[in-house]
Structure 1
Amino acid sequence: MKFIRKLQVMIVGKGIWTIMKKELARFFKDGRMCLTTLLLPGLMIYILYSFMGDALGSQLNVADDFQPRIRTVELSDSMKELFAQAGLQPEEIGTEEEADALNAIQQEELDLLIIFPENFDAAVAAYDASQGDDAPNVEIYYNSASTDSSTAFEQVQGLLDQYESSLTNLFDINRGQEGYDLADDRDLAGMTMSSMMPLLILVFLFSGCMAIAPESIAGEKERGTIATILVTPIRRSELALGKIFSLSIIALLSGLSSTVGILLSMPKLMGGMEVNMNVYGAADYVMLGLVILSTVLFLIALISIISAFAKTIKEAQTLVLPLMMIAMVVGVTSMFGSAQSETVMYLIPLYSSVQCMSGIFSFDFNLVNMSVCVISNLLYTAVLIFVLTRMFHSERIIFTK
Structure 2
Amino acid sequence: MRTIYKKELARIFKDKKMVFSVFLLPVLIMVGIMALVGNLTSRQMEDIENHESIVYMMNEPESFTAFLDASDLHMDVKSVETEAERDDVMSMLKEGDADLFIEFPENFDSLIQGYRQGDEVPQIKTYYNPSEDYSSSAYELISNQSLEAYRQVLLSQRVTDMNELQVFTVNSDNKDMVVQDDQKASGKALGMMLPYFITILLFAGAMGIGTDMIAGEKERGTMASLLVTPVKRKSIVLGKVFALMTISGISSVIYIVVMGATFPKILGGDSGLDLEITPEQIVMIGVLLVAIAFLYSAIVILLSVFARDLKEASTYITPAYMVVLVIGMMTMFTTREAGMKDYLIPFYNTALALKGILTSEVTMAQYGVTLAMTLVLGGILTAVIAKAFESEKVMNL
* Structure-2-length-normalised TM-score: 0.84
Q: In 1, Cα distance between the equivalents of 2:370 and 2:127?
A: 56
Whether the aligned pair in 2 keeps the contact of 1:331 and 1:351 (CA below 8 Å) is yes
1:262, distance to aligned residue in structure 2 (A):
5.1
Q: Which residue of 2 aligns with 1:394?
A: 391
For residue 38 of structure 1, the aligned residue among 20, 23, 35 is 23
Question: Mapping of 1:319-338 within 5 angstroms?
Answer: 319-335=316-332, 336-338=334-336
User: Which residue type is aligned with residue 52 of structure 1?
Assistant: V
Matched, 1:309 2:312: no
Q: In 1, Cα distance between the equivalents of 2:146 and 2:348?
A: 48
For residue 114 of structure 1, the aligned residue among 102, 111, 123 is 102
Whether the aligned pair in 1 keeps the contact of 2:184 and 2:358 (CA below 8 Å) is no
User: Structure 1 pair 69/388, CA: closer, same or farther in 2 (3 Å)?
Assistant: closer
**More divergent stretch after superposition (200-209 vs 158-167):** 158-167
**More divergent stretch after superposition (315-324 vs 86-95):** 86-95
Matched, 1:341 2:339: yes
Partner of 1:279, secondary structure, is: coil
Matched, 1:363 2:360: yes
Question: Mapping of 1:37-56 within 5 angstroms?
Answer: 37-56=22-41
User: Structure 1 pair 60/388, CA: closer, same or farther in 2 (3 Å)?
Assistant: same
User: Which residue type is aligned with residue 141 of structure 1?
Assistant: Y
CA deviation string 1:304-354 (max 9, x = no partner)? 122122221211121112211211221122021245212x44233212212
User: Higher RCO, 1 or 2 (CA under 8 Å, sep at least 6)?
Assistant: 1
Q: Which residue of 2 aligns with 1:3?
A: none
**More divergent stretch after superposition (185-194 vs 255-264):** 255-264
* Structure-1-length-normalised TM-score: 0.83
Partner of 2:102, secondary structure, is: strand
Q: In 2, Cα distance between the equivalents of 1:198 and 1:117?
A: 55
Whether the aligned pair in 1 keeps the contact of 2:328 and 2:348 (CA below 8 Å) is yes
Whether the aligned pair in 2 keeps the contact of 1:236 and 1:392 (CA below 8 Å) is yes
Q: Which residue of 1 aligns with 2:148?
A: 161
Give the aligned length: 382
1:247, distance to aligned residue in structure 2 (A):
0.6
User: Structure 1 pair 181/238, CA: closer, same or farther in 2 (3 Å)?
Assistant: same
User: Which residue type is aligned with residue 62 of structure 1?
Assistant: D
Whether the aligned pair in 2 keeps the contact of 1:248 and 1:297 (CA below 8 Å) is yes
Partner of 2:53, secondary structure, is: coil
Whether the aligned pair in 2 keeps the contact of 1:42 and 1:260 (CA below 8 Å) is no
User: Structure 1 pair 145/265, CA: closer, same or farther in 2 (3 Å)?
Assistant: farther
Whether the aligned pair in 2 keeps the contact of 1:52 and 1:269 (CA below 8 Å) is no
Whether the aligned pair in 1 keeps the contact of 2:56 and 2:80 (CA below 8 Å) is no
Matched, 1:197 2:194: yes
Q: In 2, Cα distance between the equivalents of 1:264 and 1:197?
A: 13
Over the aligned positions, Cα root-mean-square deviation in angstroms equals 3.0
Q: In 2, Cα distance between the equivalents of 1:223 and 1:108?
A: 58
Q: In 2, Cα distance between the equivalents of 1:256 and 1:231?
A: 37
Runs (5+) with no aligned partner, structure 2: 156-161
Whether the aligned pair in 1 keeps the contact of 2:202 and 2:251 (CA below 8 Å) is yes
Whether the aligned pair in 1 keeps the contact of 2:353 and 2:370 (CA below 8 Å) is yes
1:154, distance to aligned residue in structure 2 (A):
1.0
Partner of 2:290, secondary structure, is: helix
1:266, distance to aligned residue in structure 2 (A):
4.3
Q: Which residue of 1 aligns with 2:175?
A: 178
Whether the aligned pair in 1 keeps the contact of 2:353 and 2:362 (CA below 8 Å) is yes
User: Structure 1 pair 383/90, CA: closer, same or farther in 2 (3 Å)?
Assistant: closer
User: Structure 1 pair 208/90, CA: closer, same or farther in 2 (3 Å)?
Assistant: closer
Partner of 1:62, secondary structure, is: helix
1:90, distance to aligned residue in structure 2 (A):
5.8
Whether the aligned pair in 1 keeps the contact of 2:8 and 2:243 (CA below 8 Å) is yes
Partner of 2:47, secondary structure, is: coil
User: Structure 1 pair 94/244, CA: closer, same or farther in 2 (3 Å)?
Assistant: closer
Q: Which residue of 2 aligns with 1:251?
A: 248
Whether the aligned pair in 2 keeps the contact of 1:53 and 1:268 (CA below 8 Å) is no
Q: In 1, Cα distance between the equivalents of 2:24 and 2:113?
A: 68
Q: In 2, Cα distance between the equivalents of 1:225 and 1:95?
A: 83
Q: In 2, Cα distance between the equivalents of 1:349 and 1:325?
A: 15
For residue 282 of structure 2, the aligned residue among 272, 282, 285 is 285
1:60, distance to aligned residue in structure 2 (A):
4.7
Q: In 2, Cα distance between the equivalents of 1:260 and 1:205?
A: 14
1:246, distance to aligned residue in structure 2 (A):
1.2
Whether the aligned pair in 2 keeps the contact of 1:339 and 1:364 (CA below 8 Å) is no
Whether the aligned pair in 2 keeps the contact of 1:42 and 1:259 (CA below 8 Å) is no
Q: Which residue of 1 aligns with 2:215?
A: 218
Q: In 2, Cα distance between the equivalents of 1:261 and 1:121?
A: 62
User: Which residue type is aligned with residue 333 of structure 1?
Assistant: M
Whether the aligned pair in 1 keeps the contact of 2:187 and 2:275 (CA below 8 Å) is no
CA deviation string 1:172-227 (max 9, x = no partner)? 32224724222342243133223222222123221111111111012112222224
Q: Which residue of 2 aligns with 1:152?
A: 138
Q: In 2, Cα distance between the equivalents of 1:61 and 1:51?
A: 15
User: Which residue type is aligned with residue 351 of structure 1?
Assistant: Y
Matched, 1:299 2:296: yes
Identity %: 30
